[in-house]
A and B are shown apart, each in its own frame.
Chain A
Amino acid sequence: MATATTATPELKLERVNTPPAQTWNYLRANDITLTVPSESRKGDVYFALPRLFEGIECGMGPDVTAWIESQAADAQYVEVRAGERRIEPIIATMDTGVMVRTGAEATIVVCADAQATSRTSAALVRVIAEKGARVRVLEFVATGDDQQHLESVGITADEGARVEVRQYFLGAHTTAAGLSCALNGADARFDLTCRYLGTDDQRLDINHVVRMRGRNGRSDLRESGVLDGRARKTLRATIDLVHGSSGSEGAELENVLVLSDDVVNKTMPVILCDEDDVAGNHGATIGSVGPEQIQYLADRGLSQEEAEALYVRALFDEALICAPTAAVRAAVLARAQTVLGTEVAGDLVDALQLDTEDRA
């Protein structure tokens, strides 16, 4: 306590990323505790989001929402008018609320790069997709090895809205990400692709929640990742088929590649079902690269290490292809250089003929 005079005050956030239904506490898979800086903002007044965003459930839980709101400067509110097809992506700041009106289309980009000056970075994104809206959320966490990143997303989808989320967690010291999507209207649809990488002493804690409330909803969650070194990962994925969601179908599938005996991989795929006329299924496969695959790749001249590296490279390839702006590409590439080395990273750029310079 003696040296605390110069240090930033800290706050301990407990029970972060808690899923709606929990397992045995002794498994230590139910939540994560994070220590974050907490600057007092007493006396300052910042622009806040409209009140209706308060009702949106965010994946990391209310404590994280309150903390980010207390630390962010002005919140960014973006509205996409009814029927508008917005091409230019909305770049999320630390606290962003997006209203996508009836029939509109929008892409939201959340990117955490290694530039951040603070050891901890965070993003809070809340989205309202009105009737028939189409929303894409692209998340890239490409922060540095010594950083901690928190990313909490909350989405509500009205009748016939389609929400597509792609997440690329490319390794930070600690990545904690929560996403909650509520399909409130009938015929709404949610598709999630989440790709992650954990190496060295990295910690990755993910919480995905889909609340299926409207009739005939569809949700499809695909998570996959590669874990090496002493990485610790916990994924919780919950499909909640709420009473009244008749005709809905929810599916979730995780594939994990474990490359080291020092990895700790925890997976909790949960289905909650309060309705009979629904279909829910989930699955998980956890293991190493199969002997047949290793053999096949060996026949083509790859050693086991090279074969495993291929899976890591593939992750960056995909992230680069999906990166919608030059800034995101630059962030992903910088991360690729750290993880894969300059040569492979350069090859990625060449092969994809990517433009990493800002074109203004």
Chain B
Amino acid sequence: MSERTQNRTQVADVDRSLYDFTYSEEGYERYDDGLTPDIVRAISKKKDEPEWMLAMRLAALDTYHAKEMAPNWGPSIAGLDMDHISTYVSPKTKQAKSWDDVPDDIKTTFERLGIPEAERESLAGVGAQYDSEIVYHNMREEVARDGVIYTTIEDALHDPQWEPVVHEYFGTLIPPADHKFAALHYAVWSGGSFVYVPAGVKVDYPLQSYFRLNAEGAGQFEHTLIIVEKGADLHFIEGCSAPKYYEANLHAGAVELFVKDGARLRYSTIENWSKNMYNLNTKRARVGADAQMEWVSGSFGSHVSYLYPTTILQGDRSNCEFTGITFAGATQDLDTGCKVILNGADTTATVDTKSISKDGGCNTFRSSIVVGRRAANARASVSCQSLMLDDISRSDTIPAMDVRNATANVGHEATIGRISDDTVLYLMSRGCSEAEARTMVVGGFANPVSKELPLEYAVEMNNLIKLEMEGAIG
């Protein structure tokens, strides 16, 4: 082979200075490490929760202790020592409706992440969580006038109008017994969002929640519950980041999405957790007749991820689109993908994922497409492309399909490869350096995902790719 194949792109660790700043948690309320009924009671007491919620937490804690992880599962989480993860760290502040009321260090954090600016320019509402608690929550007045609710689950539980709604939905789509970390989540959950969009209401601008884990050796367990009523329309954006520590952090959130008949929900995520994070997150959507669920997911950070957003196409003619990209660099072992269960007739699912592996990073794409017996004429297609940027990285593709209807049509295709020499030469012959050529190709590879994101997130994602690709060139 030519010389060029040995001369691989030099890439160092990403310049994460944008994300890697921390503030002292001095004076914060931090609960003891480990998991005991006392800690669970303390969290519940602090939140002044209804009795049913405490009961649910305690039952989930038992489930957590009783459940084993499957031995044949993906990347190891042996580095996670639950006895040394603090499940609850709360900044000393009350939730604010104005950024001026947010403590300075926290406000500065979110300003550096560009959240208030984005809120002014292009969002219908913003929630910001710092460690275990939401520190800021606000929504545009006109959206509130339409009857849209965007608040924390804690606040909804204290509202007599919404407490029964939370009770009805909370924990029904992802039951606490789903898996070990779902049980953990229900035992110690804190923060997150409750969104309710009334029938027929179309929210013109996205709502956004940003999750920041500042504390070292801590866990974040936010719960997001979104109900989009019949014919309503919502775009929800979730952003996550954390500074780099050497002690393991854990994120075990849960996202439950109810998309009613004829409704549409787009759920976009840019996840950039630091590389000491175990991101064991569970997301699930149930979709009614003629409704649409769209996922856009960019995963860049974390040390280990288990992330497989699930869509249950329950109603006839419902539809799911999943667009995702995962970028695994040094020390990262990211097990991501999605699951779609097609139960209704004439349902359709389109899954399009990309993965990029470099510097010894590992990507595993995992999917399952299950077509039920009733799903006449269901259509599902899965396309999965993996790009290998060097020969020390790894990329595995493990799709599964289970089809039980004769009129269904399921297609799957996956390719793994590297950037071709011809492409690099073509771009170099027009004046691009080799590094620029490779960055351009990787950017193009990621383009189908970034073009699904709102502009500022697409820009953030492209910057992340550039940082990853060009970190130490020169």
**What are the interface flags for B362-390 relative to A under an 8 Å C-beta threshold, 1 for contact and 0 otherwise?**
00101010100100000000000010111
Does B109 touch A at the CB level, under 8 Å? no
Specify which chain A residues have a CB less than 8 angstroms from the CB of B411 in the assembled complex. 283-286
Residue of B nearest to A285 (CB): B411
List 28 A-B pairs, Cβ < 8 Å. A22-B72, A22-B398, A23-B366, A24-B368, A27-B370, A259-B406, A261-B406, A261-B407, A263-B406, A264-B402, A267-B400, A268-B398, A269-B412, A271-B397, A272-B394, A273-B394, A275-B388, A275-B391, A277-B5, A277-B418, A278-B388, A280-B414, A281-B414, A282-B414, A283-B413, A284-B413, A285-B412, A287-B410
Q: Are B399 and A269 in contact (CB under 8 A)?
A: yes
Contacts known (A23-B366, A23-B368, A266-B401); A276 close to B70, Cβ less than 8 A? no
Residues of chain A with a CB closer than 8 A to B415's CB? 279-281
User: What is the 8 Å Cβ interface bit string for chain B, positions 105-133, against chain A (1 contact, 0 not)?
Assistant: 00000000000000000000000000000
A331 within 8 A of B: no
Q: Is the CB of A267 within 8 A of B401?
A: yes
Cβ contact within 8 Å between A282 and B413: yes
Interface 1/0 per residue, A64-105 and B, CB below 8 Å: 000000000000000000000000000000000000000000
Size class of the A contact interface (CB-based, 8 Å): 35 or more
For residue A265, CB closer than 8 A to chain B, the reply is yes
Among all A-B residue pairs, the 3 with the closest Cβ atoms? A276-B388, A287-B409, A280-B416
* Given A23-B400, A277-B391, A288 and B407 contact (CB-CB distance below 8 Å): yes
Cβ–Cβ contact A264 & B386, under 8 A: no
Knowing A266-B400, A269-B412, A281-B416, say if A25 contacts B72 (CB, 8 Å): yes
- A278–B415 alpha-carbon span in the complex (Å): 10
Q: Which residues of chain A from 251 to 305 have a CB within 8 Å of any chain B CB? A: 256, 258-288
Q: Would you call B414 and A261 a contact (CB within 8 A)?
A: no
Question: 0/1 per residue, A9-32, Cβ < 8 Å to B?
Answer: 000000000000111110101100
Taking the nearest CB of chain B, how far is it from the CB of A21, in angstroms?
5
A275–B391 alpha-carbon span in the complex (Å) = 5
Which of B393, B398, B407, B412 counts the most chain A CB atoms within 10 A? Answer: B398
Residues of A within 8 A of B (CB): 21-25, 27, 29-30, 241, 243, 246, 256, 258-288
Contact present for B400 and A286 (CB under 8 Å): no
* B409 surroundings in chain A (CB, below 8 A): 285-288
Residues of chain B with a CB closer than 8 A to A262's CB: 373, 404
A273 lies within 8 A of B407 (CB): no
A-B contact count (CB 8 A): 142
A265 / chain B contacts, CB cutoff of 8 Å: 401-404
A19 to B30, CA, bound (A): 45
Residues on A with beta carbons closer than 8 Å to the beta carbon of B370: 27
How many angstroms from the CA of A261 to the CA of B373 in the assembled complex?
A: 6
**Which residue of the partner chain B has the closest CB to A28?**
B402
Cα separation A268 to B365 with both chains bound (whole Å): 12
A283 to B412, CA, bound (A): 5
Which residues of A have CB within 8 Å of B414?
A: 269, 271, 280-283
Q: CB of B257 within 8 A of chain A?
A: no
Instruction: Verify A284–B390 contact, CB threshold 8 A.
Output: no
In whole Å, how far is A15's beta carbon from the nearest beta carbon of chain B?
Answer: 9
How many whole Å from A216's CB to the nearest CB in chain B? Answer: 11
A241 with B400, Cβ < 8 A, contacts A261-B373, A273-B395, A276-B391 known = no
In the complex, besides A274-B394, A287-B410, 10 extra interface pairs with C-beta distance below 8 angstroms are A266-B403, A267-B403, A267-B412, A272-B397, A276-B418, A280-B397, A280-B415, A281-B415, A286-B408, A287-B409
In the complex, the answer to whether B412 meets A276 with C-beta atoms within 8 Å is no
Contact B406 A24 (CB under 8 A): no
What are the residues of chain A within 8 A of B373 when measuring CB–CB?
261-262
Contacts of B79 in A (CB 8 A): none
Residues of B within 8 A of A268 (CB): 398-401
Most buried by A among B73, B396, B406, B418: B406
**Contact partner of B417 among A23, A272, A278, A285, CB < 8 A?**
A278
Chain B residues with CB below 8 A from A261, complex form: 373, 404-407
B415 to chain A, nearest CB (A): 4
CB distance from A66 to the nearest CB of B (A): 21
Q: CA–CA, A332 to B410, complex, Å?
A: 31
Residues in chain B near residue A259, CB distance under 8 A: 406
A134 to chain B, nearest CB (A): 28
Closest to A245 in B: B391
Contacts of B402 in A (CB 8 A): 27, 29, 264-266
B413:A281 contact, CB within 8 angstroms: yes
B406 touches A278 (CB 8 A): no
With a cutoff of 8 Å between Cβ atoms, the chain B residues found around residue A288 in the complex are: 406-407, 409
CB atoms of A273 and B398 under 8 A apart = no
Determine the distance from Cα of A7 to Cα of B278 in the docked complex, in whole angstroms: 53
Query: Which residues of B are found within 8 Å of A29, using beta-carbon distances?
Result: 400, 402
In this complex, what residue of A is CB-closest to B1? A277
B368 engages A270 (CB within 8 Å): no
**Cα–Cα distance between A260 and B366 once the two chains are bound (Å):** 28
